[in-house]
Structure 1
Amino acid sequence: MNDQTQDWDIGRQGRRWTGPEGLAKLERLPGRLELVQGKLCLDDAERWTLLAGLMENMGLDEVVQFGKLEDWQQAIAARVEGAAKPPTPAATDVPASHWNCRVIEFPSDEETWCAIHEVYYEHGTPVAYSSSPAAPGWTTDDGPEAGLDRLEKFREALRKPVLKVSAFEHVGAKAALLDKLGQMIEDCGGVLDRASLSAWLEAWLAEPLPELNGAAPVQMLGSEEGRDQVETLLERMRGGLPG
């Protein structure tokens, strides 16, 4: 049983959520639905929470109407045998995922403009941002200090370096490079700090390099050949990597 589903009351019949319990359960569900690298929600923890909430609401008798009966039978048999183990978030020194407010720069043919958006991070790497700018609003249930708290988050965003919208491009390639860098550092006996390594990689990718005829490594990530060139450069830098 996944940790995210243990305290949900999932039975054969669905349960209605009413009163304070209903509001509490609603608060636990993901606040937004996003597609990240082809998957619904932002990480496995949110997917398990959303799935558990729907199953408690609908009941197992309704849920098993989806899919093929033989698949359900095989899945149940696998669980009985202890073979099916749901994925769990990897343990890291930094949060596996989190949101914060950041200023993002958006270039255009006419002018470059900036806005504060909510940015989603995986292991310190920005991978997605809210489609609309972050709003300064709050609900009356949030309390009298909610407005000041919201403004403080905006002030924190303004104090941090501005993110380029290009930081959200080639997310899969950047994640692969980060994994490769981490392995290289561990192979050399270094201490892996994934958050610091992610920040270093983001800065290095944006820097024009003479080895790439003045192009920044991030410009090369759109093709397999370019990604191979970037990996080769990192291999040559093995002794000078952080950590």
Structure 2
Amino acid sequence: MTYAAIYHAPVTARIGRIREGVAATEAKDWLDLPDLGRNATLKALDLAVATFNRKVKERANLSPAESERVLGLARLVGQVEAMVRDAGGPADFDARAWLSRWLQEPLPALGHARPLDFLNTMEGQRLVSDTLAKAVSGAYA
């Protein structure tokens, strides 16, 4: 499933994926963000690196709680892809790389905290998503 497909999927479809558990092998690629790497991304999502690597090796699914946080991050990448496409940005724009850098920058809109520090909860991911949307609209310009 692509980032765009995750972002545009109906909520009920994402809930279904969460309940069944995302395959760790599929999540592995989603979590390997440039400038962050998989281990730092796992830590930001509050997922144990050793447990994740074991599930990849065993070709197991993530738990629903783990799947929810992983899908939430993948949805953020899809959100950036959609924002750039809707703004007429370049077709070869690397949303993963851009988001990876943006997540690490302290933002005044977040009390000078990094968006990365909010990824371990769904409320935090919603805050990050809203902050992205407001930045595009100019609310934080």
Please, what TM-score do these two structures have when normalized by structure 2?
0.51
In 1, are the aligned partners of 2:35 and 2:97 still within 8 Å (CA)? no
For these two proteins, the number of residue pairs brought into alignment is: 94
* 1:201 correspondence with 2:99: yes
Distance (Å, rounded) in 2 between the aligned partners of 1:209 and 1:164: 23
- Aligned match of 2:87: 188
- Aligned match of 1:167: 41
When you count strand as a share of all residues, which structure comes out higher? 1
SS of 2:32's partner is strand
Distance (Å, rounded) in 2 between the aligned partners of 1:39 and 1:223: 17
Distance (Å, rounded) in 2 between the aligned partners of 1:38 and 1:206: 28
Distance (Å, rounded) in 1 between the aligned partners of 2:80 and 2:35: 23
- State the shift of 1:41 in Å: 6.3
Of the three residues 21, 25, 28, the one matched with 1:38 is 21
Cα 1:167–1:239 change in 2 (3 A) is same
In 2, are the aligned partners of 1:178 and 1:197 still within 8 Å (CA)? yes
- Aligned match of 1:126: 32
SS of 1:207's partner is coil
In 2, are the aligned partners of 1:182 and 1:192 still within 8 Å (CA)? no
What CA deviation, in whole Å up to 9, does each residue of 1:188-224 have, x standing for no partner?
2223436x21011011112222221121101112333
Gaps of 5+ in 1: 1-36, 44-96, 98-119, 128-159
- Aligned match of 2:8: none
In 1, are the aligned partners of 2:72 and 2:122 still within 8 Å (CA)? no
The percent identity for this pair of structures is: 29
- Aligned match of 2:75: 176
Displaced runs of 4 or more, over 6 A: none
- State the shift of 1:166 in Å: 2.6
Cα 1:39–1:228 change in 2 (3 A) is closer
* 1:230 correspondence with 2:128: yes
SS of 1:237's partner is helix
After TM superposition, the structure 1 = structure 2 runs for residues 148-163 of structure 1, keeping only pairs within 5 Å, are 163=37
Gaps of 5+ in 2: 1-19, 46-68
Structure whose alpha-carbon radius of gyration is higher: 1
- State the shift of 1:228 in Å: 2.4
When you count helix as a share of all residues, which structure comes out higher? 2
Please, what TM-score do these two structures have when normalized by structure 1?
0.32
RMSD: 3.3
